[in-house]
Amino acid sequence: MRRVSPTLYPPKENSPFLLILPAFTFLLSLYLGPRNNPSFLLPYLSIPAGAVVLFFVLLEQKNKKEQRLNSEIEDLQGRINILYDQLQIEETKNKALHLKLKKYDNLALLTEKFNQNLSLDDALKLLAEECFQLLGQQKSTCLIYLSDSYSELSLAGSYGPAADDSVIKDKKGDIFSQWALAHTQPLLVEDTSSDFRFDKHTVKKTSERKISSLISSCLISQNRPLGILRLDSPEKKLWTLEDLRLLSTIADIASIAIDNAKCYQNIKELAIKDSLTGLYTHTHILERLDEELKRCLASENSLSVLMLDIDFFKKYNDRYGHLAGDIVLKNLSFWLKDALKGQDAIIGRFGGEEFLLILPAASKQEAFSLAENTRAFIQAKTINLRRNKTGVTVSIGAAGFPQDADSAGDLINKADTALYEAKRLGRNRVCLF
């Protein structure tokens, strides 16, 4: 439908003959009447004169009718134009409403996807991708920073053309992310070089990438800041306040999902980790051993295990109490992690004061060398028990797959046999099966 342009019909003027004819008839009667008595002509003159007068009277009525119709047409055209303008307004409203409904549908779908993913890594990956799809522009990047208990940010997820670890060097967050976390409120920067909240010289120094505009929102759960959700771009004025509102809504949904994923991760760790030492439980370490053996069979690699036992552990309980035994176990778990830092090692508490260490892709000789270094590392440590400084020593037995055993149970038995041999020889040593 298009707007109607008014068509105007100019009114027709009365013919001058309507005035000339009566005057002509009057003059003719004056000229002929006194001298020739032309009264016999009057009937003949009055007939055409009356017809002419009637014709022009009808013509005048026709013109008035046309003027009235023209006025009605103009009024109708005005009403049509008003209806057209109202229709245009309603179409604009409908388009805006359609876009809002589409956004809400996308948010509902995003919530459903979050509910189907309980893993924190999966939730962060989904958030980065979906946020970029909803609000991302060409050359823009979506970043997710998570905050620790000390309010320090670390890059947890990214998506976009420039979302490469080699490109994004500000892993701890830049001045914009730090501002958003400190103020816990949404942030819209149309031009980073002229925003009054940030010094442009500081912006140039702190930013590793070219950032000209950005929107950011804080991830908050139970009044605790979890991190920052952000989109930035090298182009200026890329986002609006409406985009910032949508980002804030996404951040609210994501905060619940991230908090749930963290709770699920904590519950999962409680199920597979020992509450005292923080190491894998007996059941889980055996499951990991089965997985590693299957991987070794598929890749035809070797694998070694270490069975470790604390020497004279009973004396700590007898001399200092059972609480002292817990302190020894807890410190030993820290020492094992430190001694094997950087190594491909899986550590679990096998039971009591015994620990099982899995060394994927390690030969028996490599396992022996690593076990000896671990034993010496622990021997050099000291702890305070009831204000008494004391040391701890361990005995270690090692066995290899597939040369020593062809199953998980048999491999553990062979390592346990080597452990008892180390104890028989005087403890504080490493023995191979």
Q: Same domain for 25 and 98?
A: yes
Q: Same domain for 5 and 109?
A: yes
Residue 319 lies in a domain: yes
Q: What pLDDT does residue 164 have?
A: 61
Residue 192 lies in a domain: yes
Name which of 72, 55, 68 is nearest 11 in CA terms.
Answer: 68
Contacts with 359 (C-beta within 8 Å, 6 or more apart), sequence order: 303, 304, 305, 306, 343, 344, 345, 366, 367, 370
**420 pLDDT higher than 90:** yes
Residue 28 lies in a domain: yes
Q: Which of 240, 271, 302 is the last residue of a domain?
A: 271
**159 pLDDT higher than 50:** yes
Higher confidence at residue 92 or residue 24?
A: 92
Q: Same domain for 170 and 73?
A: no
Q: What pLDDT does residue 42 have?
A: 52
Q: Same domain for 224 and 338?
A: no
Q: What pLDDT does residue 410 have?
A: 95
pLDDT tens for residues 304-355?
A: 999 999 999 998 988 888 889 999 999 999 999 999 998 889 999 999 999 9
Read off the pLDDT of each residue in 126-139 and give the average, rounded to a whole number. 86
**199 pLDDT higher than 50:** yes
Q: What pLDDT does residue 426 have?
A: 93
**31 pLDDT higher than 60:** no
Q: Same domain for 58 and 88?
A: yes
Q: Same domain for 198 and 105?
A: no
Please, which residues bridge with residue 214 across strands? 189, 232
CATH assignment of the domain containing 176? 3.30.450.40
Q: Same domain for 321 and 263?
A: no
Q: What pLDDT does residue 9 have?
A: 47
Name which of 382, 414, 375 is nearest 396 in CA terms.
Answer: 375
Distance CA 97, CA 85 (A): 18
Q: Coil, strand or helix: which one is 163? A: coil
Q: Which of the residue ranges 44-48, 59-63, 117-121, 237-241 would you say has the lowest mean pLDDT?
A: 44-48
Q: Are strands 346-351 and 354-360 parallel, antiparallel or unpaired?
A: antiparallel
Q: Which of 250, 271, 292 is the last residue of a domain?
A: 271
Of the chain, the percentage scoring pLDDT greater than 70 comes to 85
Q: Same domain for 130 and 247?
A: yes
Of the chain, the percentage scoring pLDDT greater than 90 comes to 41
Contacts with 399 (C-beta within 8 Å, 6 or more apart), sequence order: 304, 305, 307, 364, 405, 411, 412, 414, 415, 417, 418, 432, 433
Read off the pLDDT of each residue in 117-131 and give the average, rounded to a whole number. 88
Active site residues: 353
Q: Same domain for 290 and 392?
A: yes
DSSP count for the chain of H helices, then E strands: 11, 12
Residue 276 lies in a domain: no
Residue 277 lies in a domain: no
Place of tokens 């048999």: 410
Q: Which of the residue ranges 13-27, 52-66, 81-95, 297-311 would you say has the lowest mean pLDDT?
A: 13-27
**395 pLDDT higher than 90:** yes
Binned at pLDDT 50, 70 and 90, residue 289 comes out as: very high
**In the chain, how many domains are there?**
3
Q: Residue 332, class by beta-carbon neighbours within 10 Å (0-12 exposed, 13-18 middle, 19+ buried)?
A: buried
**Neighbour order of strands in the sheet with 354-360:** 346-351, 354-360, 303-310, 394-401, 430-432
Q: Same domain for 126 and 111?
A: no
Higher confidence at residue 174 or residue 25?
A: 174
Please, which residues bridge with residue 280 across strands? 273, 348
Q: What pLDDT does residue 231 have?
A: 93
- If you average pLDDT over each of 72-81, 147-156, 414-423, which comes out highest? 414-423
Q: What pLDDT does residue 305 have?
A: 96
CATH assignment of the domain containing 420? 3.30.70.270
Distance CA 228, CA 181 (A): 7
Residue 385 lies in a domain: yes
Read off the pLDDT of each residue in 94-109 and give the average, rounded to a whole number. 80
Q: What pLDDT does residue 5 have?
A: 57
Residue 69 lies in a domain: yes
Give the helix ranges, DSSP H, for 162-219.
Answer: 175-183, 200-206
Give the mean pLDDT of the chain: 84
Binned at pLDDT 50, 70 and 90, residue 49 comes out as: low
Q: What is the 3-state secondary structure (H, E, C) of 82-96?
A: HHHHHHHHHHHHHHH
Q: Which amino acid is at 229?
A: L
Q: Residue 420: enclosing H or E segment and its boundaries?
A: helix 408-424
CA distances from 50 to 6, 14, 68 (A): 39, 17, 27
Measured in whole angstroms, the distance separating CA 247 from the mean position of its chain's CA atoms is 8
Give one DSSP letter per residue of 348-391, joined into a string: EEEETTEEEEEEET--HHHHHHHHHHHHHHHHT-EEEETTEEEE
Structural domain that includes position 146: 120-271
Q: What pLDDT does residue 50 have?
A: 64
Higher confidence at residue 406 or residue 49?
A: 406
Q: What pLDDT does residue 22 have?
A: 55
pTM, entire model: 0.63
pLDDT tens for residues 371-387?
A: 999 999 999 999 998 88
Q: Which of the residue ranges 12-26, 61-75, 189-203 would you say has the lowest mean pLDDT?
A: 12-26
Q: Which of 231, 252, 271 is the last residue of a domain?
A: 271
Q: Same domain for 181 and 206?
A: yes
**405 pLDDT higher than 50:** yes
Binned at pLDDT 50, 70 and 90, residue 8 comes out as: very low
Q: Same domain for 97 and 215?
A: no
Read off the pLDDT of each residue in 184-202 and give the average, rounded to a whole number. 87
Binned at pLDDT 50, 70 and 90, residue 414 comes out as: very high
Q: Coil, strand or helix: which one is 257? A: helix
